[in-house]
Structure 1
Amino acid sequence: MRHENGIRHLKVTMALAAALTAGSSGIALAADEDVSVFDWAGYEDPGFHPDYVKKHGDSPSFSFFGDEDEAFEKLRAGFTSDLAHPCSQNVVKWRDAGLLQPLDPARIDAWEEILPGLKSMNNLMTDGEGTAWFVPFEWGNTLVTYRTDKVDEADIQSLKAFADPKFQGRVSMPDNVDDAYALAALATGHTDWTKMTDADWDAASAFLREVHKNVRLYWLDNTELSQAMAGGEVDLAWAWNETATTLMADGVPAAMKRDTDEGLSTWVCGYVHLKDAPGNTDKVYDYLNAILTPEVATYLVNDWGYGHANATGMAKIDPEVLESTGYGDLEAFVDKTLFNSPLPPETKSKLIEEFERIKAGY
């Protein structure tokens, strides 16, 4: 069944990727136009909101973005939707730009069941005045992912392996400034990028320039990377949990490495209610309730390799499954991790500009 899910997801996302490549970045799918969701490709999967489909007969309408900076600019330019799916490092930026409206926790059934570790993250779910802006959905890592038949694990004990000449032409990096600089920050000795100085960021950029010499592909989504790794183009990648999970489900010899010397990157993503949301508010909350059920937690962990925000749902998952996916010991999970927390706007702008220069070979 997991293999079938992996193939189905691959076909859906390939179709989306083709549409996006053709220039239809605002493509909308599904029939229920009362609610629209601005999301990452792949999250239109009905397995993430079965109760919504059961109640309303179809999924909401979906449109897609490639990364959150693209989504932010599109929303500022007037694109409208009801819900959007940013991650922890961008929630404050979106809120301060006036793109969001507050959530009503009383209408979110699982609000009190959100994992305590997520609730305690500073300025994430609520602001200093207690107003709710964000409901977490999934959390996971960006970490070393590799072909076990082509890469010796001993050669990737350090994240500096991404810059090792022996991997020239065999590396893939995310085409995403947050993920790229999370790797660079860790590799240059930092697990809290909010404390990095200008000199530290310069050192991180210098590391990414060395990595660039080895890069075969800057990937935009999991399908693009999975195809490259399955086809033998890429042997070593900085990737989300989903990549190795789907590759292994499809019989490709791949693995994640969590225990590098420098650690890994941890992110939390979820949903926000957009300020000028044109749709049905009751259905908006039906959707938020649907994605937070314990049943969805099982699907998210088993088939996508991500953790779910609902503590009750996570507790119901087979401990062996949690252990195999890295979620069995949450204290170990966050050891030596860089949390993707918000950066000052001026720092983020500088990194965006610098990353474009690095990818262009400057």
Structure 2
Amino acid sequence: MAVSYTTRPFITAAFTALLALTTTLPARADDTLTVFDWSGYEDPAFHPAYVEKYGSSPDFSFFGDEEEAFQKLRSGFKADVGHPCSQSVVKWREAGLLEPLDTSRLTNWNDILPGFKSMKDLMTSADGTAWMIPFDWGNTVLTYRTDKVKPEEVASLKAFADPKFKDRVSIGDNVDDAYALASLAIGVKDWTTMTDAQFQEASAFLRDVHKNVRLYWTDNTDLSQAMASGEVDLAWAWNETAVTLQADNVPVDMKRDTTEGLSTWVCGYVRLKGGEGSEDKTYDYLNAITDPAVASYMVESWGYGHSNAKGMASVDPKILEEKGYADVDKFTHNTLFQAPMPTELRQKMIAEFEKIKSGY
């Protein structure tokens, strides 16, 4: 933070020198802001009001998936703001990793899409305490090379386990997306009610998928490069992958109308307990990322929806139609929503997915 001093003529030279020295000292920890995030979200276009006010973006540290982030935070890693998704909020809160949000300091709190406000345990707990402000939402969806794969070959999500796609498949190194795929493939739309028999069936499906996997991707850059080079023809991917590849004229498309459907998720920002940075900057950042002006950029350039209802309403209708957001009800039709699940079930998924990736 820049410091300004007014020097009067009668200040001694020694005192002037002391003032000059203090301006060169490192900033105190409580004058900084560290955001713990997915790679890519450091993009200044997601928080232009923050950059305008402070002259630069906050500091960022990155994680590959939410379980990695959870374990790192539990081991003592310090950051001020984190970016978990719907299925992890309860777990992070119950583990004592979060600080409540002061909604009176959140300029855009009342403009969050109504559907998010009604979701149990997403934004607030039963006692009304606010824990997360939603930011982005979208799909994990079958994505394929249109020059190598015919639409009829991927009419079902079971294509991921079809031997014809051996060594041509990629899914995320992400337990939530993996089990969203598996749940849909076996006909489960609400994973919060998954039985043990269904869990075993879903895990067996992922073992079949593993036989075809060329790459477990950890961020969009890895997957995009693999699809652009022709290394991967079929992927379980976020909207961003197809949007960025299409912008580079790579023949890729999303298959939203598979027999079993697709997965929908919402992610947002939380205050992390033990953060040593500026509380003022924390709220300035949360207000910047939920500013309605950010919505157009998010939808057009990343293919994701923005949480601010006013922002989404301001996006060019042609762009909303092109990206699939013109009708939110249609967008979420035939979908598995990645809602908060019982902690015990998620722990089972985490342990089993590690075995599956290891070939067991």
Normalising by structure 2, what TM-score?
0.91
Is 1:38 aligned with 2:36?
A: yes
**Which residue of 2 is the match for residue 326 of structure 1?**
324
Q: Which is higher, the Rg of structure 1 or of structure 2?
A: 2
- Residue by residue, what CA displacement relative to the aligned partner does 1:161-210 show, whole Å, maximum 9, x if unpaired? 11111111111011111000000000000100011100000000011111
Aligned to 2:145: 147
CA–CA separation in structure 1 for the residues paired with 2:107 and 2:53: 16
* Superposition deviation, residue 33 in structure 1: 6.2
Alignment partner, residue 123 of structure 1: 121
Instruction: Give, in angstroms, the shift of residue 294 of structure 1.
Output: 1.7
Match of 2:341 among 332, 343, 357: 343
Q: Which residue of 2 aligns with 1:168?
A: 166
Q: Deviations over 1:74-122 (max 9, x none)?
A: 1111111100000000001001111111001111111110000111111
Please name the residue that 2:212 is paired with. Answer: 214
* Inter-partner Cα distance in structure 2 for 1:152 and 1:325: 21
Q: Do the aligned residues in 1 keep the contact of 2:31 with 2:278 (CA within 8 Å)? A: no
Offset at residue 137 of structure 1 (A) = 0.3
Which residue of structure 2 aligns with residue 238 of structure 1? 236
Query: Which structure 1 residue ranges, 4+ long, deviate > 6 Å from structure 2?
Result: none
**Which whole-Å deviations, capped at 9, do the CAs of 1:9-66 have from their partners, x for residues lacking one?**
xxxxxxxxxxxxxxxxxxxxxx996111000111111010011000000100000111
One-letter amino acid of the counterpart of residue 211, structure 1? V
Q: Which runs of 5+ in 1 are unaligned?
A: 1-30
1:263-284 CA-to-partner distances (Å, cap 9, x unmatched) read: 1111100100011111111111
Paired AA for residue 159 in structure 1: L
Contact 1:173–1:217 under 8 Å retained in 2: yes
342-351 vs 205-214, which moves further:
342-351
Residue 254 (structure 1) aligned with residue 256 (structure 2): no
* Matching residue's letter, 1:44: E
- The sequence identity of aligned pairs, in percent, is 67
Distance in 2 between residues matched to 1:213 and 1:107, nearest whole Å: 50
Q: Is the 8 A contact 1:148 1:254 kept in 2?
A: yes
Q: Secondary structure at the match of 2:158?
A: helix
DSSP 3-state at the match of 1:237: strand
Query: Do residues 201 (structure 1) and 199 (structure 2) align?
Result: yes
Other-structure match for 2:77: 79
1:105 alignment counterpart: 103
Return the alpha-carbon distance in structure 1 between the equivalents of residues 47 and 223 of structure 2: 26
**Cα deviation, residue 343, structure 1:** 2.0
Structure 2 regions of 5+ residues with no counterpart?
Answer: 1-28
Report how many aligned residue pairs link the two structures. 332
Q: Does 1:308 align with 2:306?
A: yes
SS across alignment from 1:58:
coil
1:238 is paired with a residue of what secondary structure?
A: strand
Q: Which amino acid aligns with 1:344?
A: P
Give 3-state SS (helix, strand or coil) of 2:32's partner. strand
CA contact (8 A) 2:45 2:297 kept: yes
Q: Distance in 2 between matches of 1:112 and 1:349?
A: 34
Equivalent-residue separation in structure 2 for 1:173 and 1:274 (angstroms): 29
2:286 alignment partner in structure 1:
288
Q: Check conservation: 2:30, 2:278, Cα contact below 8 A.
A: no
Give the counterpart letter for 2:329 in structure 1.
E
Task: Kindly report which structure 2 residues correspond to 1:24-63, keeping only aligned pairs within 5 A, or say none.
Answer: 34-63=32-61
Residue pairs, 1:153-192, within 5 angstroms: 153-192=151-190
Q: Does the CA contact (< 8 Å) of 2:80 and 2:271 recur in 1?
A: yes
- 1:355 is matched with 353
The answer to whether structure 1 residue 278 and structure 2 residue 276 are counterparts is yes
Contact 1:32 1:58 survives alignment (8 Å): no
Residue type matched to 1:326 in 2?
A: G
Q: Is the Cα–Cα contact under 8 Å of residues 111 and 309 in structure 2 kept in the other structure?
A: yes
Q: Which residue does the alignment assign to 2:12? A: none
Q: Give 1:280's aligned amino acid.
A: S
Q: Hey, what's the Cα distance between the residues in 2 that align with 1:361 and 1:78?
A: 32
Instruction: Give the drift of 1:357.
Output: 1.1
2:15 — aligned with what?
Answer: none
Give yes or no for contact 1:186–1:263 (8 Å, CA) kept in 2.
yes
What TM-score does the superposition give when structure 1 sets the normalisation length?
Answer: 0.90
Alpha-carbon distance in structure 1 between the residues aligned to 2:347 and 2:108: 35
Contact 1:307–1:327 under 8 Å retained in 2: yes
- Could you say which residue in structure 1 is the equivalent of 2:17? none
Q: CA deviation at 1:345?
A: 2.0
Cα separation, partners in 2 of 1:146 and 1:33, compared to 1, 3 Å: farther
